[in-house]
Every structure is written in C-alpha cells, then in structure tokens.
Amino acid sequence: MNEDGSRRWIRPKPSDGPWQRRRRIVAYALMVIYLAIPHIRMNGKPLILLDAPRREFTFFGHTFLSTDTLLFMLLLGALALTIFTFTALFGRVWCGWGCPQTVWMEFLYRPIERWVEGGRMGSINIDKTRNHFHPRRVAKHAIYFVLSLILAHTFLAYFVGVDALKVWVTQSPVEHPSSFAVMAVTTILVFLDFAYFREQTCTIACPYGRWQSVLLDKSSLVVAYDRNRGEPRTKGTKDRASDAGDCIDCVACVATCPTGIDIRDGLQMECIHCTQCADACDAIMDAIGKPRGLIRYTSMEILAGERKHLLRPRTVVYPALLAVVVGLFVWQLGTKEAADIVLLRSTETPYTESPDGAIQNQVRVKITNRAGDDRSYSIDVTGAEGGNVIIPVNPFPVANGKSETLSLFVVLPRSAFAAGGHAITVRISDGQGFAQAYPYRLLGPEGTGDGGEAIPGDASDKERNR
Ligand code: SF4
Ligand code: SF4
C-alpha cells in the first residue's frame, strides 16, 4: 500500500536471467498441460473431472463415487502430505514455478500488458494519467477479456467436462441460462483476478503463503538474500568503505519483484520464491564484477553458517506417512468390488402385518455400479422358505457409475419371528464376476414363536424396532 492506504500498483521490471528462462520453459509447458487436461481421456474417462453436482471425481481414469469416502479421504490425505513433504524440502517452489496464478499472470498477462502498453514505463505512465480509458489500456483489457473467456471455459471444463461444455458453447444462452450465468461469472472473476487483483491473490487470498510458516524450517530451500555478504549495503559503487558489503542498494531486486517486497528484509509471507530478484541481482553482480548469488536458492541454516541437514524429522515423518497413506489407497483401490451394495430397511415401518397374520418386510437394495459399464444384477433370497419373496425387477439394471435402489418384499408367517427377527441372505450377482452374499435380519413381532400368539404390547414392539 501507499502511505495514504491506497493500493500500490506493481509494474515489475522484467529480469531475463537463467532462472527466468527456465521458468519460462516450465510455464509454457504447464500452460499446454493445464489447457489439455480436460480434453485428455484415460480408460474412456476424462483424465481429471471434478463433477461436484453428481458427486463424482475422476482422476486418471478412475471415478470416485460419493460412497468412496475412505478412498477420497486417503487421496486428499496423500495430496496434503505431498504438499507438506515438497514444501519441507523445496520451499515454495509450487508458488514460483507451478501455480496457475503465477504461470498465467507472469508469463501471459504481464507480458501482454508490457507489449500493449509500451513496456513497464508505458504502464507506469498510463497509471500516472489516471485515465482508465487510455486506448492502450482499453486494448489490453479487451485482450485480457478474450483470454479470461478461454481460461474460464478451461477452468469449468475441469468441473463439467468438455462434452457438457461443447453443448453450452454451441447452444443459445436462452436454452441454458443458468450454465451461461456460471460461465459469465467465472469469466468476470478470472478477468478481475488477472487484470486487478493480481499479486493480492498470493499475498492476501491464498492460504498457502500463511501455511509456509509452519511447513518450512530453517533447512528448507528458499530464495534468500545473503545478509553476511551483502551488508553493510552502500549506495552505488563509488567511495565504498573497505568493509562495505556487496549490495550496492540499487533496488533492482525490489523493482523486479512481482509481489512488491524487498527480499533483503528477510523471509516474508509475500515472497512466492519466483527467483526474479535472484536474476536481477546476478545481472548487477556481473556489472560490478562481484560473484553471482547474493540472492540465491539456499536455506536459512546455510546462510547462518550451519551444516546442511537433509535428514530431519519432517523430511522423514512426512514421506513415511505419505508412503503409508498411498499404500492404503492402492490397497483399497485394488480390493474395491465392482459394485457397492447396501441393504436398507423401509423408511416407513420396520414391518407390516396382514389380516391373515403374515409379516411383510420391505428390503431396499441400493446398488452402485462401479464396474465401468452397464450391468444387470440378479437378486436371490435364501432363508425365506415357507414364505414368499417378491422382487419386482429381476435382474435389476444399473447404468455405469450410477446408484439405483430396488425394493424387494419378504412375506413370512408370524411363526418365523421367534425372537422378533428372522435371518435371511440376499445374494447379488452381475453374471460377470461380481457375486456377493449379504446376511440380513428381518423384523417381526417379538415373542411369537412356533405358532404362538403375539404377546401383549405388539404396538410398542413396533415402535422399538422403528
Ligand atoms: S522477493 Fe524475489 S523471489 Fe520473492 S517474490 Fe519477490 S522477486 Fe520473487
Ligand atoms: S539487486 Fe542485489 S545489489 Fe541491488 S539492491 Fe538488490 S540485493 Fe542489493
């Protein structure tokens, strides 16, 4: 912020050094990957599809359904532990090199800004005019809007899939107003993020910057200023004292920083470890004939003159936990059946009694088909001999990835419920390898063994069963 509390617009000076060139290659590769992922298919499914409305998440050809709570929890746990491990070892390398916010902002939106507005000074001069309708700025925003439209469509493709997106794009908005509204709002948000909010996404909105204080330790890789070498800093190269440090206080490192900080103030939450200041400072060191690396990838312990510790509690515990969680995930995935079956009681009453004394139980069979294609499930009930089993649809078809519920009815004489219950087995098979048996306890009036009469208090028994 400026002294008066207004926003200080940051127009970072581009620094073209070896780190910037490496980051540019990585960024362009990531742009292609981020744009391509929704279009890539694996096992006939999208590579990544986060279908929240249908509660289905597809990763690398495997779909997690809403019944996969444990699997999904393990997956999220593995993701969190990967971030912990990665940050403990390599600091905020994700922020500086891989995060879509950094990639699109620093390697697409900012270069376009400099190109359209006449370089960094051109942008600063337009800022000074306070003219929001300066032709160059309007042109920049027009390009930004088109780019934001493309990015918003790509972003939403991760959630609705490219097939749904094609329908949205090719139909009139009148035919799908809500989808159109979602797309319009997303486009505006993307535009506002890259045109106005910018680095504040990293410094204010993103929680990861705040986590780093607990995820990093003094051995983690960070971009840092070597205070021992740089201080005491002296303005310029003339009349330098014999004990002057290598920093000539040229502020090239500050001018290039996309978050507007001075790395010489130490490790800061706002630093996304983008290495732009390292490149800028190396160019200055070359110019004044000093060795490179006054600002560099290092660790706080190395800067403090201590020995480097690669093995430390967090670099051992995090990977160990990660291995356990990934192992559990793979094991769970490997042992997962081709269908999830849940037997449920009637939502109304546990059983009903007909005038002739027969007891009827409704059993709701919920089948989730995770086989990868449409299946029909044959249902068979054993243990109900002497009674009647009514299965309205058998075999019962369930489309791939869907959950369907079928109600079957078991009618038994009152005498079958000697202790208020009766055990049956429900067998379900799809004829293509899936076959499971599920024990189930039918409910009936208690104390009615072997032709005996119902004991007084049937009504309260029913209440208890309910
Ligand atoms: S201080 Fe350096 S590494 Fe950190 S954000 Fe600024 S330019 Fe990037
Ligand atoms: S670029 Fe290097 S020499 Fe210039 S102010 Fe920053 S640390 Fe000092």
pLDDT in tens, 297-356: 999 989 988 887 778 888 899 999 999 999 998 888 777 788 889 999 888 888 898 888
Indicate if the pLDDT at residue 228 is higher than 80.
yes
Instruction: Decide if pLDDT at 449 tops 70.
Output: no
pLDDT of residue 66: 72
- Mean pLDDT score, 42-49: 84
pLDDT at 450: 45
pLDDT at position 247: 94
Q: Which of 92, 271, 284 should be mutated for ligand 1, with most atoms under 8 A from CB? A: 271
**How far is the C-alpha of 29 from the C-alpha of 230, rounded, in Å?**
35
pTM: 0.77
In the chain, what are the domains? 1-39+91-305 (no CATH), 339-465 (2.60.40.10)
Supply the residue whose CA is at minimum distance from atom 8 of ligand 1.
274
Query: Residue of the nearest CA to atom 7 in ligand 2?
Result: 247
Atom of ligand 1 nearest to the CA of 256: 7
**Residue 465 above 50 pLDDT?**
no
CA-CA distance, 434 to 282, in Å (whole number)?
A: 64
Quick one: which ligand is closest to 257's CA? 1
Alpha-carbon dihedral sign for residues 354, 356, 357, 361: negative
In this predicted structure, what is the pLDDT of residue 357?
Answer: 83
Retrieve residue 356's tokens. 């002739």
The residues, any chain, with a CB within 8 Å of residue 342's CB and separated by 6 or more, are 365, 366
Report the greatest alpha carbon distance in the chain: 113
- The DSSP element (H or E) to which 378 belongs, if any, is strand 375-382
Cα gap 353→350, rounded to integer Å: 10
Q: Is the pLDDT of residue 24 over 80?
A: yes
Ligand nearest to the CA of 15: 1
Q: Which of 253, 262, 279 to mutate to test the pocket of ligand 2 (most atoms within 8 A of CB)?
A: 253
Residues with a CB atom less than 6 Å from ligand 1: 223, 256-259, 261, 263, 271-277
Question: What would the mean pLDDT of 174-185 be, rounded to a whole number?
Answer: 90
Of the given ranges (10-14, 131-135, 216-220, 326-330), which has the lowest mean pLDDT? Answer: 216-220
List, for residues 272-288, the tens digit of each pLDDT value.
Answer: 999 999 999 999 999 99
Three-class SS string for 31-70? HHHHHHHHHCEECCEECEEEECCCCEEEECCEEECCCCHH
For the CA of 96, the closest atom of ligand 1 is 8
Distance 261 CA to ligand 1 centre (A): 7
Residue 447: its pLDDT value, please?
Answer: 61
Give residue 140 CA to ligand 1 midpoint distance, Å: 25
Average pLDDT of the chain to the nearest whole number:
87
**Could you give the CA distance from residue 402 to residue 63 in angstroms, rounded to a whole number?**
11
Confidence of residue 236 (pLDDT cuts 50, 70, 90): confident
Query: By alpha-carbon position, which residue is closest to atom 5 of ligand 1?
Result: 271
Which of 15, 228, 237, 251 should be mutated for ligand 2, with most atoms under 8 A from CB? 251
Q: Is residue 54's pLDDT more than 80?
A: no
List the beta strands (DSSP E) in 156-265. 222-225
Each residue of 340-379: b (16+ CB within 10 Å) or e?
bbeeebbeebbbebeeeebbbbbbebebbbbbeeebebeb
Q: Is the dihedral of CA 54, 56, 58, 61 positive or negative?
A: negative
How far, in Å, CA of 77 to CA of 322, rounded?
8
- C-alpha Rg value of the chain to the nearest Å: 33
Nearest ligand, measured from the Cα of 264: 2
Give the closest residue to 361 by CA, choosing from 374, 349, 369, 370: 349
Angstrom distance (rounded) from CA 238 to CA 250: 13
Measured in Å, residue 400 CA sits from the centre of ligand 2 at: 61
Q: Report the nearest atom of ligand 1 relative to the CA of 260.
A: 6
Query: Tens of pLDDT along 384-403?
Result: 888 899 999 999 999 887 88
What residue's CA is closest to ligand 1, atom 1? 263
Choice from 199, 272, 284 to test ligand 1 binding pocket (greatest atom count within 8 A of CB): 272
Q: Whose CA is nearest to atom 3 of ligand 1?
A: 273
Which residues lie with the beta carbon below 6 Å from any ligand 2 atom?
225, 230, 247-253, 264, 280-281, 284, 294-295
Give the nearest ligand 2 atom to 262 CA. Answer: 6
DSSP H helix total and E strand total for the chain: 17, 16
